[in-house]
Amino acid sequence: MRRHPGLFLTLIIILAIAAGVFVYPKGWGAKIQPWHLGLDLVGGSHLVYQIDLSKVDAASRDSVVAGLRDVIEKRVNLFGVSEPQVYTAQSGSEAQLIVDLAGVKDVTDAIKQIGETPLLDFREVEGSGSSTQFVYTNLTGEYVTGAQLIFNQTTGAPEVQISFNKDGADIFGRITAANIGKPLAIFLDNQLIEAPTVQSAITDGTAVISGGFTLTTAKTLVERFNAGALPAPITLVNQQTVSPTLGSNSLQEVMLAGLIGTLLVMLFMIFYYRLLGVFAAFALVIYTALTLAVFKAIPITLSLSGLAGFILTIGMAVDANVLIFERYKEELKRGLPKHSALEEGFRRAWPSIRDSNASTIITAIILYYFTSSFVQGFALTLLIGVVVSLFSAITTTRLFLRTFLKDAPQAPRHNEKHA
């Protein structure tokens, strides 16, 4: 890259042009993959559900409501809703679940699937023949942490593996120990979905259901466990629709604000740093195209909060250029040639750029893993934007400078002889 900066710069420019075509909301890029936009940008539905906690003891209500939110969020994701925002509101014995669905084409179908998500529970089987009855246990979906499709290592047959949390493992261990050789019935919304026979006591919190599954039926059962393990029933009590026109206006406003802000930053850089500012402006355009392409390729569902995170990284990308340019000017004052001053400027600016961006990356990771989906959108765009901005500052800007900065010719010394 040091020997052929022009070649690498050309490749980056070609990549940026392709990225720009890809992210453009119309034409070729839109045919390959459309943008995923949040409820506040494209409209959608705001649903409010009442949570039935009548059968949940007071000590467990907080954990039940939190578990319900997580399960519903996974359920909504299963049928392709863009960046669902699922949160709860609780007051004493009353609790509500709020679901925001962005860009849903068939709201009725989404409501139906959420509303039909059943309550999972395990029951013992007593009697035989016509006198068979199922006895309720206290093992419900509250204690199920997930299910997955696995394959038998000997036969290759599909199987379903269920995992329980610590309390669930203890309860399941006692139930299986008392029912060896007997079926254990699994119900979803009071409908029997499976009744595997207990082969032995299972105390490690992981159970495997096998026998007679096709790949399709095993996948269906896994989906029912993961999406249907609700700790309490829910009922839709309110629905509001966010107009797509309102969302479109919000999108246009935030894009205009971002464009104006970016242009002002570029004009400032050009005014203050002259030719260096021109290079920084070009690098910023390349950075913007590449970052948006990454967002779209993943894909990331962009909301107002996500766009705010992206716009913040634009300022951070420019901040890195400012550090580099100031170091470069200092080296020029020391009498170094332009190319030597450039390399020394990058070398001396790198520790500051590295440390500031590392702290931002750590913060973004913490926000992403310990907050809800609304803040996660901001954190994820911030994280990706910072990483790409490092590439832009350290690679793209440097390639521009290496390619176009020319050292001034050295004046001949007076004692030199010329032919």
User: What local confidence, expressed as pLDDT, does residue 373 receive?
Assistant: 61
User: What local confidence, expressed as pLDDT, does residue 377 receive?
Assistant: 82
For residues 261 and 144, what is the distance between their CA atoms, to the nearest angstrom? Answer: 48
Angle between helices 304-333 and 373-391 (to 10 degrees): 30
User: What local confidence, expressed as pLDDT, does residue 418 receive?
Assistant: 46
For residues 333 and 323, what is the distance between their CA atoms, to the nearest angstrom? Answer: 16
For residues 392 and 386, what is the distance between their CA atoms, to the nearest angstrom? Answer: 10
Question: Domains plus CATH for the chain?
Answer: 5-37+243-404 (1.20.1640.10), 44-117 (3.30.70.3400), 120-228 (3.30.1360.200)
For residues 399 and 346, what is the distance between their CA atoms, to the nearest angstrom? Answer: 12
User: What are the DSSP calls for 324-373, one per residue?
Assistant: HHHHHHHHHHTT--HHHHHHHHHHHHHHHHHHHHHHHHHHHHHHHHHS-H
User: What local confidence, expressed as pLDDT, does residue 79 receive?
Assistant: 56
Please say whether the beta carbons of 227 and 78 come within 8 A: yes
Please say whether the beta carbons of 41 and 250 come within 8 A: yes
The one-character DSSP state at 392 is I
For residues 99 and 269, what is the distance between their CA atoms, to the nearest angstrom? Answer: 44
For residues 240 and 216, what is the distance between their CA atoms, to the nearest angstrom? Answer: 36
For residues 22 and 24, what is the distance between their CA atoms, to the nearest angstrom? Answer: 6
Beta bridge partners of 125: 134
User: What local confidence, expressed as pLDDT, does residue 190 receive?
Assistant: 80
Angle between helices 304-333 and 244-273 (to 10 degrees): 0
Which residue positions in the chain have pLDDT lower than 70? 1-3, 77-83, 92, 105-106, 113, 116-118, 129-130, 227-231, 244-247, 372-374, 406-419
How far apart are the two ends of the chain, measured CA to CA in Å?
A: 38
Please state whether the predicted TM-score (pTM) of the whole model is above 0.85: no
| Among 24, 35, 30, 33, CA closest to 82 | 35
Site of tokens 């997580």: 70
User: What local confidence, expressed as pLDDT, does residue 306 receive?
Assistant: 87
| Among 158, 174, 263, CA closest to 215 | 158
- Give me the sign of the Cα torsion angle 397, 301, 85, 140: negative
Cβ contacts of 178 within 8 Å, gap of 6 or more: 124
Cα distances (angstroms) measured from residue 308 to each of 243, 255, 358, 377, 381:
22, 10, 19, 10, 9
Q: How big is the chain by its Cα radius of gyration, in Å?
A: 30
Cβ-defined contacts of 256-260 (< 8 Å, 24+): 257/311, 258/307, 258/310, 258/311, 258/314
Q: Where are the beta strands (DSSP E) in 15-153?
A: 44-51, 82-91, 94-102, 120-126, 133-140, 144-151
Tell me whether strands 234-242 and 44-51 are parallel, antiparallel or unpaired: antiparallel
Site of tokens 């004052």: 333
For residues 289 and 21, what is the distance between their CA atoms, to the nearest angstrom? Answer: 9
Longest dimension (CA), the chain: 118
Residue 286 has a CB neighbour count (10 Å cut-off) of 26
Please say whether the beta carbons of 40 and 303 come within 8 A: yes
| Among 375, 173, 404, 167, CA closest to 282 | 404
